[in-house]
Amino acid sequence: MTIEKITADALAPVHHGFFTRRGGASSGVFLGLNCGRGSTDQVDVVRINRARVAEAMDVQTEHLIALNQVHSADVVHVTAPINGTLPRADAMVTATPGLALGILTADCQPVLFADAKAGVIGAAHAGWKGALDGVLEATVDAMVNIGASRDRITAVIGPTISQRNYEVGPEFFETFFDEDPDHARFFANGQNDRMHFDLPGFGLFCLRRAGIAEAEWTRQCTYADPDRFYSYRRSVHQREADYGRLISVIRL
Protein backbone atom coordinates (compact mmCIF):
# COMPACT_ATOMS: atom_id res chain seq x y z
CA MET A 1 0.00 0.00 0.00
CA THR A 2 1.27 3.46 -0.91
CA ILE A 3 2.29 5.81 1.89
CA GLU A 4 -0.39 8.44 2.52
CA LYS A 5 -0.11 11.97 3.87
CA ILE A 6 -2.65 14.72 4.41
CA THR A 7 -1.69 18.27 3.45
CA ALA A 8 -3.25 21.67 4.06
CA ASP A 9 -3.33 24.61 1.66
CA ALA A 10 -2.81 26.97 4.59
CA LEU A 11 0.78 25.73 4.98
CA ALA A 12 1.69 26.01 1.29
CA PRO A 13 4.27 26.29 -0.16
CA VAL A 14 6.10 24.72 2.80
CA HIS A 15 6.60 20.95 2.40
CA HIS A 16 4.62 19.09 5.07
CA GLY A 17 2.41 16.10 5.72
CA PHE A 18 0.18 14.55 8.36
CA PHE A 19 0.96 10.90 7.63
CA THR A 20 -1.72 8.26 8.09
CA ARG A 21 -1.00 4.64 9.06
CA ARG A 22 -1.16 3.51 5.43
CA GLY A 23 1.93 2.33 3.59
CA GLY A 24 4.06 1.05 6.46
CA ALA A 25 5.88 -2.18 7.25
CA SER A 26 4.45 -2.89 10.71
CA SER A 27 2.05 -5.74 11.44
CA GLY A 28 -0.38 -6.86 14.14
CA VAL A 29 -1.85 -4.05 16.26
CA PHE A 30 0.75 -1.75 14.66
CA LEU A 31 -0.33 -2.61 11.11
CA GLY A 32 0.91 0.15 8.85
CA LEU A 33 3.23 3.12 9.28
CA ASN A 34 4.00 2.99 13.01
CA CYS A 35 6.75 5.55 13.67
CA GLY A 36 6.77 5.27 17.46
CA ARG A 37 10.16 4.20 18.76
CA GLY A 38 8.58 4.13 22.23
CA SER A 39 6.16 1.39 21.18
CA THR A 40 6.81 -2.34 21.53
CA ASP A 41 6.92 -2.73 17.77
CA GLN A 42 10.10 -4.21 16.24
CA VAL A 43 12.88 -1.62 16.27
CA ASP A 44 14.00 -2.45 12.73
CA VAL A 45 10.47 -2.15 11.39
CA VAL A 46 9.95 1.26 13.00
CA ARG A 47 13.27 2.32 11.46
CA ILE A 48 11.99 1.24 8.04
CA ASN A 49 8.80 3.22 8.55
CA ARG A 50 10.67 6.36 9.55
CA ALA A 51 12.96 5.96 6.54
CA ARG A 52 9.90 5.85 4.27
CA VAL A 53 8.64 9.08 5.83
CA ALA A 54 12.03 10.74 5.40
CA GLU A 55 12.06 9.70 1.75
CA ALA A 56 8.56 11.10 1.26
CA MET A 57 9.77 14.38 2.79
CA ASP A 58 12.92 14.32 0.63
CA VAL A 59 15.36 14.39 3.54
CA GLN A 60 17.99 12.04 4.90
CA THR A 61 16.70 9.87 7.75
CA GLU A 62 18.98 11.56 10.30
CA HIS A 63 17.48 14.91 9.28
CA LEU A 64 14.02 13.77 10.41
CA ILE A 65 14.12 15.29 13.89
CA ALA A 66 12.30 13.71 16.84
CA LEU A 67 11.75 14.54 20.50
CA ASN A 68 11.23 12.66 23.74
CA GLN A 69 7.66 13.87 24.12
CA VAL A 70 6.51 14.28 27.73
CA HIS A 71 3.24 16.29 27.56
CA SER A 72 5.02 19.53 28.47
CA ALA A 73 4.95 23.11 27.19
CA ASP A 74 8.69 23.02 26.42
CA VAL A 75 9.97 24.06 22.97
CA VAL A 76 13.44 23.51 21.52
CA HIS A 77 15.19 25.44 18.74
CA VAL A 78 16.73 22.93 16.34
CA THR A 79 19.67 23.96 14.12
CA ALA A 80 21.20 20.56 13.23
CA PRO A 81 20.42 16.83 13.36
CA ILE A 82 20.18 15.54 16.93
CA ASN A 83 22.69 12.84 17.83
CA GLY A 84 22.30 10.91 21.06
CA THR A 85 19.68 11.62 23.70
CA LEU A 86 16.54 13.29 22.40
CA PRO A 87 15.45 16.52 24.14
CA ARG A 88 12.55 16.18 26.59
CA ALA A 89 10.11 18.59 24.97
CA ASP A 90 6.88 18.68 23.01
CA ALA A 91 7.56 21.24 20.31
CA MET A 92 10.39 22.44 18.13
CA VAL A 93 11.14 25.28 15.74
CA THR A 94 13.78 25.85 13.10
CA ALA A 95 14.94 28.23 10.39
CA THR A 96 17.46 25.72 9.03
CA PRO A 97 16.72 24.39 5.53
CA GLY A 98 16.87 20.62 5.13
CA LEU A 99 15.64 19.73 8.61
CA ALA A 100 12.26 17.99 8.96
CA LEU A 101 10.44 18.36 12.27
CA GLY A 102 8.49 15.20 13.18
CA ILE A 103 5.83 14.94 15.89
CA LEU A 104 4.26 11.66 17.06
CA THR A 105 0.61 11.36 18.10
CA ALA A 106 -2.16 8.83 18.65
CA ASP A 107 -5.18 11.03 19.55
CA CYS A 108 -3.31 14.14 20.74
CA GLN A 109 -3.05 17.10 18.38
CA PRO A 110 -0.18 17.27 15.90
CA VAL A 111 0.20 20.96 15.02
CA LEU A 112 2.39 22.23 12.18
CA PHE A 113 3.35 25.91 11.88
CA ALA A 114 4.91 28.02 9.14
CA ASP A 115 5.93 31.55 8.31
CA ALA A 116 6.90 30.86 4.71
CA LYS A 117 8.16 34.40 4.05
CA ALA A 118 10.57 34.34 7.01
CA GLY A 119 11.57 30.72 6.44
CA VAL A 120 10.62 29.62 9.95
CA ILE A 121 8.64 26.49 10.83
CA GLY A 122 7.46 24.71 13.95
CA ALA A 123 5.81 21.48 15.08
CA ALA A 124 4.04 20.69 18.34
CA HIS A 125 2.52 17.73 20.17
CA ALA A 126 -0.48 19.11 22.04
CA GLY A 127 -2.52 16.80 24.21
CA TRP A 128 -4.90 18.28 26.73
CA LYS A 129 -2.16 18.89 29.30
CA GLY A 130 0.32 20.47 26.92
CA ALA A 131 -2.37 22.64 25.38
CA LEU A 132 -3.61 23.78 28.79
CA ASP A 133 -0.04 24.53 29.89
CA GLY A 134 0.58 26.65 26.79
CA VAL A 135 2.66 24.58 24.37
CA LEU A 136 0.98 26.10 21.31
CA GLU A 137 1.51 29.70 22.42
CA ALA A 138 5.08 28.81 23.41
CA THR A 139 5.75 27.45 19.92
CA VAL A 140 4.53 30.68 18.34
CA ASP A 141 6.75 32.70 20.72
CA ALA A 142 9.75 30.52 19.84
CA MET A 143 9.14 31.06 16.12
CA VAL A 144 8.98 34.82 16.63
CA ASN A 145 12.26 34.67 18.56
CA ILE A 146 14.06 33.26 15.51
CA GLY A 147 12.62 35.62 12.95
CA ALA A 148 8.97 34.77 12.26
CA SER A 149 6.27 37.41 12.29
CA ARG A 150 3.27 36.57 14.46
CA ASP A 151 0.83 38.01 11.92
CA ARG A 152 2.24 35.77 9.15
CA ILE A 153 2.28 32.45 11.01
CA THR A 154 -0.23 29.84 9.94
CA ALA A 155 -0.93 26.70 11.96
CA VAL A 156 -2.81 23.52 11.12
CA ILE A 157 -4.02 20.87 13.57
CA GLY A 158 -3.87 17.44 11.99
CA PRO A 159 -5.89 14.30 12.74
CA THR A 160 -6.84 14.17 16.40
CA ILE A 161 -9.60 12.78 18.57
CA SER A 162 -12.92 14.58 18.09
CA GLN A 163 -15.23 15.80 20.83
CA ARG A 164 -17.75 13.06 20.09
CA ASN A 165 -15.21 10.40 21.05
CA TYR A 166 -13.38 12.16 23.88
CA GLU A 167 -15.33 11.27 27.00
CA VAL A 168 -13.95 12.60 30.29
CA GLY A 169 -14.90 12.69 33.96
CA PRO A 170 -15.80 15.58 36.28
CA GLU A 171 -12.26 15.96 37.62
CA PHE A 172 -11.01 16.60 34.08
CA PHE A 173 -13.64 19.31 33.61
CA GLU A 174 -12.71 20.87 36.95
CA THR A 175 -9.05 21.12 35.91
CA PHE A 176 -10.03 23.28 32.94
CA PHE A 177 -12.75 25.21 34.76
CA ASP A 178 -10.40 26.10 37.62
CA GLU A 179 -7.93 27.50 35.08
CA ASP A 180 -10.63 29.66 33.46
CA PRO A 181 -14.43 29.30 33.82
CA ASP A 182 -14.73 30.27 30.14
CA HIS A 183 -13.18 26.89 29.28
CA ALA A 184 -16.55 25.30 30.05
CA ARG A 185 -17.58 26.05 26.47
CA PHE A 186 -15.26 23.28 25.25
CA PHE A 187 -17.29 20.61 27.05
CA ALA A 188 -20.61 18.97 26.16
CA ASN A 189 -22.78 16.90 28.47
CA GLY A 190 -22.59 13.12 28.20
CA GLN A 191 -24.23 10.28 30.12
CA ASN A 192 -24.45 10.57 33.91
CA ASP A 193 -21.45 12.60 35.12
CA ARG A 194 -19.49 12.11 31.88
CA MET A 195 -18.65 14.98 29.55
CA HIS A 196 -17.11 15.28 26.08
CA PHE A 197 -14.08 17.52 25.58
CA ASP A 198 -13.41 19.40 22.34
CA LEU A 199 -9.61 19.06 22.08
CA PRO A 200 -9.21 20.55 18.57
CA GLY A 201 -11.64 23.33 19.46
CA PHE A 202 -9.49 24.19 22.46
CA GLY A 203 -6.36 23.99 20.32
CA LEU A 204 -7.82 26.44 17.79
CA PHE A 205 -8.75 28.78 20.64
CA CYS A 206 -5.15 28.72 21.93
CA LEU A 207 -3.72 29.37 18.47
CA ARG A 208 -6.06 32.26 17.74
CA ARG A 209 -5.38 33.73 21.17
CA ALA A 210 -1.68 33.72 20.24
CA GLY A 211 -2.47 36.25 17.51
CA ILE A 212 -1.36 34.30 14.45
CA ALA A 213 -2.62 34.86 10.91
CA GLU A 214 -4.57 31.63 10.43
CA ALA A 215 -5.42 28.43 12.30
CA GLU A 216 -7.44 25.43 11.15
CA TRP A 217 -8.09 21.74 11.81
CA THR A 218 -8.02 19.10 9.07
CA ARG A 219 -11.17 17.64 10.69
CA GLN A 220 -10.21 13.96 10.80
CA CYS A 221 -10.91 12.01 13.99
CA THR A 222 -8.26 9.46 14.91
CA TYR A 223 -10.60 7.40 17.08
CA ALA A 224 -13.34 7.10 14.45
CA ASP A 225 -11.19 5.92 11.51
CA PRO A 226 -9.12 2.81 12.38
CA ASP A 227 -8.21 2.16 8.74
CA ARG A 228 -6.26 5.41 8.52
CA PHE A 229 -5.27 6.38 12.06
CA TYR A 230 -3.86 4.95 15.27
CA SER A 231 -5.71 5.85 18.48
CA TYR A 232 -4.56 5.35 22.03
CA ARG A 233 -8.11 5.58 23.40
CA ARG A 234 -9.46 3.10 20.86
CA SER A 235 -6.67 0.65 21.75
CA VAL A 236 -7.65 0.89 25.42
CA HIS A 237 -11.31 0.29 24.65
CA GLN A 238 -10.39 -2.72 22.50
CA ARG A 239 -7.97 -3.98 25.17
CA GLU A 240 -5.05 -4.13 22.80
CA ALA A 241 -1.56 -4.57 24.20
CA ASP A 242 -0.14 -1.46 22.52
CA TYR A 243 -0.83 1.04 19.77
CA GLY A 244 0.96 2.69 16.87
CA ARG A 245 2.01 6.31 16.61
CA LEU A 246 1.27 8.59 13.67
CA ILE A 247 3.88 11.07 12.48
CA SER A 248 3.34 14.61 11.23
CA VAL A 249 6.24 16.40 9.55
CA ILE A 250 7.17 19.83 8.22
CA ARG A 251 10.39 20.99 6.56
CA LEU A 252 11.85 24.00 4.80
- Structure confidence by residue, pLDDT tens digits, 135-149: 999 999 999 999 999
Domains and CATH numbers, the chain: 5-162+198-251 (3.60.140.10)
- Structure confidence by residue, pLDDT tens digits, 6-39: 999 999 999 999 999 999 999 999 999 999 998 9
The band of 84, judged by pLDDT with boundaries at 50, 70 and 90, is confident
Mark residue 147 as left, alpha or beta (left: phi above 0; alpha: psi -120 to 50; beta: remaining). Answer: left
Mean predicted confidence (pLDDT) in 164-176: 97
- Give the SS3 label for residue 249: strand
- Give the SS3 label for residue 97: coil
- Give the SS3 label for residue 105: strand
Can you give the pLDDT at residue 25?
A: 96
pTM (2 d.p.): 0.96
